[in-house]
Amino acid sequence: MASIFTRIIEGELPGTFVWKDDRAVAFLSINPLRAGHVLIVPREEIDHWLDCPADLRDHLMGVAAEIGQALQDAYRPTKVGLMIAGLEVPHLHIHLLPIDDVHDMDFSNARPAGREELETEAARIRNALTERGAGGVSS
């Protein structure tokens, strides 16, 4: 059975994308820890990041760096946090979000976000990616 992320990638479930390329996508979390919380997901279903081929892992980190720079530009946080937890969905994903404190990455901060909020934040991130000249910006 396809993971929930595969179903989002294939358009079976809605997703608010900010990045798409032939190997990975990035979309906003529907339960963000903070505004701008992005999930970077390989198109290939891989459960554990340790099982990810080196070239794909490097690609995902490159995408994370592109989006991380855009988050830094758009939100001006102290840092852009990156985390691979992988317990909630058995499909490798990287959490990327603007942070000002280590507690900003605490999953107890998660809250549901509405479609309008997600679209507003996605537009903000896409604009920052476009201004940086990034290649995988999703429309």
**Which residues are tagged catalytic?**
93
Distance CA 51, CA 38 (A): 22
DSSP-derived secondary structure for 18-31: EEE-SSEEEEE-SS
Tokens of 34: 């903070």
Residue 14: DSSP 8-state: -
Tokens of 98: 């603007």
Which helix or strand (DSSP H or E) is residue 97 part of? strand 94-99
Provide Rg for the chain, Cα atoms: 14
Distance CA 30, CA 45 (A): 20
